[in-house]
Amino acid sequence: MIIIKSDDEINKIDRASKIVAETLIRLGEVIAPGITTKDIELKAEAIIKSNKAASAFKGYRGYPASLCISVNNEVIHGIPSRKKVLKDGDIVSLDVGVVFDGYIGDAAWTYPVGKVSKETQKLLSVTKESLYKGIEKARANNRVSDISHSIQVHVEGYGYSVVRAFVGHGVGRSLHEEPQIPNYGLPNKGPRLKKGMVLAIEPMVNAGGFEVAVLKDGWTAVTADGSLSAHFEHTVVVTDDEPGILTQLN
């Protein structure tokens, strides 16, 4: 069942989402060669705490950290570590989920570390564009796979591939609600979108093939072929009019 949120609930998801946005922006400002992914986690925890919120990820199905930090060939669910030092030319995906007043906002952004190659920058731009292509379809009376299709067409047009093993999702009181939102597929399939649905749309895009593997830590998903992977996510509300991007600051 897809939960339709009341205006009051959307306001609460919006407040959580604004904390997520602030966290991602402020973390983006500290990304630099030489810092560890654990340093980033500590900073995230301080920002979330100062907003009187909590991580929506920590403890979720046993996940051990407050956010996910995935470097280079890591797709999603990387666990922060003191041993992981960022270096010039890397890319780093930060995925932040926050609960505030019982409601959750969820977003992710991939940042370049120092100076990255033109090819790497292209992967980031195309993945971000594909997120906005998907969001554009998050409108009442469209169907879920209209989002999926739009993302896939954009990504594959540049020769990249869309990860298939992980999907976007509804979000609200729970981190993962219905519907699932694949980032590929034919248009005009799946549930019809309605005003008041809140969706976390999150394309994960590999420079090489779409296949992924999960490391022995039980969480970190990596590309099977070792290629780079990028991830952008927003929490979006379906309205009568333009899609509302809740995790965007401004």
State how far the Cα of 132 lies from the Cα of 234, in Å rounded to an integer.
9
Residue 29 assigned as binding residue: no
Residue 211 assigned as binding residue: no
CB of 217 to ligand MF3, least distance (A): 12
Between the alpha carbon of residue 5 and those of residues 9, 72, 194, 200, 213, the distances in Å are 6, 36, 10, 14, 35
Residue 233 assigned as binding residue: yes
Among ligand MF3, Co ion, none, the one that 90 touches (CB under a kind-dependent 5 to 8 A) is: none
Tell the residue number behind the tokens 């420079």, with chain if given: 207
| Nearer CB in complex with Co ion: 142/235 | 235
Find out whether 249 and 105 touch, Cβ atoms under 8 Å.
no
What is the footprint of Co ion within residues 152-211 (CB under 5 A)?
A: 200, 202
221 binds Co ion (CB under 5 A): no
Residue 77 assigned as binding residue: yes
| Nearer CB in complex with ligand MF3: 86/108 | 108
| Nearer CB in complex with ligand MF3: 7/60 | 60
75 binds Co ion (CB under 5 A): no
- Residues near ligand MF3, by CB under 6 A: 57, 60-61, 63, 68, 77, 95, 97, 106, 108, 169, 200, 233
State how far the Cα of 187 lies from the Cα of 28, in Å rounded to an integer.
34
CB of 235 to Co ion, least distance (A): 8
Piece of the chain touching Co ion by CB under 5 A; list 12-20, 63-71, 101-109, 114-122: 101-109
CB of 60 to ligand MF3, least distance (A): 4
Residue 149 assigned as binding residue: no
144 binds Co ion (CB under 5 A): no
Binding residues: 77, 95, 106, 169, 176, 202, 233
Applying CB under 5 A, the residues found at the interface with Co ion are: 106, 200, 202
Binding residues for substrate: 77, 176
